[in-house]
Amino acid sequence: MLDPSACNSNRPDSQRVIASQTPGAIIVEAVDLKDLVFFARDLDLASPNALEDIAQFAQRMMTNVGAADLVKRVSSLTRGTARKEPSDVERVALAFVGAPSHRLVADLLVEIGKDGGVRTHRPAVLRTCIKALQLCDGSDEVSFYDTAIQMREQNRLIGRPMPKRAVGSTLLLKGLEADVAVVLNASVLDARNLYVAITRGSRALTICSPTSILNPR
């Protein structure tokens, strides 16, 4: 069970924990999409660790993704020591290992998202990443990094719709409104952030705090 007192919604790592453990929850992303930019900058298709990097990125975007297990299975399948036939995800991963391409990275992320029990809780980042991979595939003129930056800038103009169940910092949720707002670990918020947080819910508000009286800074 999620412990509200251990969560700080202003920290990205806590946001991921909250969203991954809350059915249907989606993270409201900052417009800079740092995780996508860093992934695009660092991904090297020729690296022996490329599959591991892709699997770990998928694990940050979706729930119930076993990055280490996928890498281990593909290694076993490649050596011919696996007893079970490859799954659909593993087939795409094997294809990538055999002939790495940005298109196959996109295909692998899509296939992982279709796997049973997997749920995407960071769709804005994942969707932009897949689109950038598809656009740069086969191009010698535009890199994955350049395409990711271009896609990020386009997304800045689209705006941020409020998901049915949104998780985010007070800064990211400012200006957005939901029927119900839940403020986690309210005792650590200063007066400005607490005010923003408690005014996000139009019909109901739940405040989680280890103390019954809040004394914001």
- pLDDT tens track for 85-105: 999 999 999 999 999 999 999
Q: What is the pLDDT of residue 157?
A: 62
- Residue 176's Cβ-count burial label (10 Å; 0-12, 13-18, 19+) is middle
Average pLDDT, integer, range 131-149: 90
Q: What is the dihedral sign for C-alpha 162, 57, 105, 71? A: negative
> How far, rounded to the nearest angstrom, does the alpha carbon of residue 74 sit from its chain's CA centroid?
23
5 has pLDDT over 50: no
- The pLDDT confidence band at residue 4, using thresholds 50, 70 and 90, is very low
Average pLDDT, integer, range 16-42: 87
Task: Share the mean pLDDT of the chain.
Answer: 87
**pTM summary value:** 0.81
Average pLDDT, integer, range 20-37: 86
Q: What is the pLDDT of residue 61?
A: 96
- Placement of tokens 């670990």 in the chain: 185
Residue 20 to residue 16: CA distance in whole angstroms: 6
Taking alpha carbons only, the member of 70, 47, 62, 28 closest to residue 130 is 62
6 has pLDDT over 50: no
118 has pLDDT over 90: yes
* Poorest-pLDDT segment among 5-14, 80-89, 98-107: 5-14
Q: Is 41 helix (H, G, I), strand (E, B) or coil?
A: helix
Rg of the chain's alpha carbons, rounded to an integer?
20
Which of residues 30 and 73 earns the better pLDDT score? 73
